[in-house]
Structure 1
Amino acid sequence: MNNTIKLNRFNVIIMTLFLFIGAEVYSQYGYGNGGYGYGRGYGYGRQRSAIPQAQVTPKEEAPKTAEELVDGEMPSITEALQLNDFESAVLSSILKKFVQERIEARILKLPPEKMREVYENITLRQDEELKASLPLEKYEAFVELQKNGVAKTLKKKKKQKKKRQKKKNKN
């Protein structure tokens, strides 16, 4: 009987020892597939940084200036209206001036009725200046361009070119 008690005590000591060693190994190396989060990603190891990551907020883009707006549109306007360099420069300078006025009016945040009045006034003065500066046919083409948009005007020009090409080929 003494031998069985000793054997049981020995077993208890061995089991306790395995229990402590097993817990130590398990806490250090996770499930045993590499530890520290390696392997299939199921480990208990350190997976995240203790240092908090700074939240980077996206920068708000600064609103474009009148020059940037007009310079961005001028190539397509020049192509649609078939302007020469002088006419293009005149149109560009006039548009920059009046787009700047519209931007300034928008910054003031006037009531809607007053804003409409200011915009109409700016448009009238722009039309007068364009009429005086551009040839009549170019001015009318620009007004048409404003009504229809650049894309539609360019489409019309391409269709007209194709029709002319077909007529020339028939003759």
Structure 2
Amino acid sequence: MKKIIQCSSLKVLVLLLILLGSSEIYAQYGYGNNGYGSRGGYGYGRQRSSIPQAQTPAEEPKPKTAEELVDGEMPRITEALGLNAFEQAVLSSVLKKYVQERIEAQILKLPPEKMAEVYENITKRQDEELKAGLPLEKYEAFVALQKDGVSKTIKKKNKKKKKEKRKKPKN
């Protein structure tokens, strides 16, 4: 009888060692799929850091340069005024020069009275240079464009074209 008890206690001991050993292996090496976790990754699910992640503030967009501002508006201005390549080049270069001066004046952050005086001076010099470089009708159209805005000028131009098409008799 002692032999049977010794034999069965030995079996129980071996069984207990196998069960404890297998749970240890199971806990240490994951679930068996791909070796380390079921996603083929490195762990046992989503890993979280104990260090909180700081929210980085979004970078403020850099202010556009004078060239970028003028180049962005030139196609619309050209369409509104019907400029040829030479007139477009003259207008573009003059605008870039004086837009740059306006940007520099803004950077100085002068008092409002002084700023108005500086802007008026810049506008006066810009107008003189544009008068010298553009034909009179194009210059006047540009001045009207500045007063009305590009969108209104394009709409007016389109209305004129529609009226002219209506007036022409069809043959």
Both structures adopt the same fold (TM-score exceeding 0.5): yes
Q: Which residue of 2 aligns with 1:36?
A: 36
Please report how far the alpha carbon of residue 11 of structure 1 lies from its aligned counterpart in structure 2 after TM superposition.
0.9
Amino acid at match of 1:10: K
1:144 and 1:36, CA in 2 relative to 1: closer, same or farther beyond 3 A?
Answer: farther
Q: Which residue of 1 aligns with 2:101?
A: 101
Q: Which residue of 1 aligns with 2:86?
A: 86
Match of 1:100, SS state, is helix
Gaps in structure 2 of 5+ consecutive residues: 49-56
Match of 2:168, SS state, is helix
Please report how far the alpha carbon of residue 80 of structure 1 lies from its aligned counterpart in structure 2 after TM superposition.
0.8
Aligned partners of 2:147, 2:81: CA distance in 1, in Å? 14
Please report how far the alpha carbon of residue 142 of structure 1 lies from its aligned counterpart in structure 2 after TM superposition.
1.1
- Residue identity over aligned pairs, in percent, reads 66
Q: Which residue of 1 aligns with 2:153?
A: 153
1:75 and 1:4, CA in 2 relative to 1: closer, same or farther beyond 3 A?
Answer: same
Gaps in structure 1 of 5+ consecutive residues: 49-56
Q: TM-score, normalised by structure 2?
A: 0.71
Q: Which residue of 1 aligns with 2:17?
A: 16
Aligned partners of 1:8, 1:46: CA distance in 2, in Å? 43
- Paired residues of 2:76 and 2:150 also in contact (CA < 8 A): yes
- Paired residues of 2:32 and 2:38 also in contact (CA < 8 A): no
Count how many residue pairs are aligned between Structure 1 and Structure 2: 162
Please report how far the alpha carbon of residue 46 of structure 1 lies from its aligned counterpart in structure 2 after TM superposition.
9.5
- Paired residues of 1:98 and 1:122 also in contact (CA < 8 A): yes
Please report how far the alpha carbon of residue 101 of structure 1 lies from its aligned counterpart in structure 2 after TM superposition.
0.9
Aligned partners of 1:76, 1:145: CA distance in 2, in Å? 11
After superposition, residues 43-54 of structure 1 pair within 5 angstroms as 44=44
Q: Which residue of 1 aligns with 2:138?
A: 138
The one-character-per-residue Cα deviations of 1:56-98 (angstroms, maximum 9, x if unpaired) are x988776544334323322321221112333323222221221
Aligned partners of 1:126, 1:91: CA distance in 2, in Å? 10
1:37 and 1:124, CA in 2 relative to 1: closer, same or farther beyond 3 A?
Answer: farther
